[in-house]
Structure 1
Amino acid sequence: MPKQMPFEKRCKEALKSVESFAKTANNWGEIHNMFLGIGGKMFEFFPEASERTKFSGTEEYKQIKQIMSDAPEGVPDMPRDQVSGKFVVRLPVSLHAALVREAKEEGVSLNQLCEVKLAVQLRAVV
């Protein structure tokens, strides 16, 4: 993705790429990995951490998150109405601090960073 392309155009193109991929993806994990995973399209469209932070506040990003939310779970024995999409994890302070630092360096939210880290580990299962 050319860096010279205006930010707004890259936002629209990012959304188009996810919409296109979602048509053939089997589950939310595939969409998530394709876009937000390590080496994902988000990093091609927005190579700078500051751009990723800015993008996470756009309407296009909200639509991408909705596409992922609407995608099949990929876990047939776990109906969607039995999970909320939220859970609390207690971590050692040092691990929490390390995750916060890494998220800041990557220009993503702590939630986004943890989603990617969990999704990468689930890739073989989902």
Structure 2
Amino acid sequence: MLFLQEAAAQYHERIIWIGTTTGLPDAILHIHAGMFIFLAASLLTGRSFDRLLPLLTVILLAGGNECLDRIHLGNWNWPDTKSDLINTIAWPLAIYATAHLHRIIRSVLKRSVKADRPAEAAAEI
């Protein structure tokens, strides 16, 4: 347990350094971190934004960050934790949902064109 507490303390120091160095508020840093993780996970896994893996990566890492905060602070600070999670996950979730909906609409339109027209018309889509 001591190792976890030391790791959480070092992690917290790095987070404070990032905030101090950039001069950005905590909420903005969470938004940037969520988007960076989402983009990096998409690139590294080869999955598009409408796939669940990049979004799950953001959710898991955001949860891990909050667990490290809890270990470092010794208790949960629920208002801060909820705010941090929402700021980190909101835009990746919105992008995922939009991309996924776009994929569904495209698929439905493609099927409707195939049903209404000959095969060559479907190739235009």
TM-score tier after normalising by the smaller chain length: 0.3 to 0.5
Kindly name which structure, 1 or 2, has the bigger radius of gyration based on alpha carbons: 2
The structure whose RCO (Cα within 8 Å, separation 6+) is larger is 1
More helix by share: 2
TM-score after normalising by structure 1: 0.41
TM-score after normalising by structure 2: 0.42
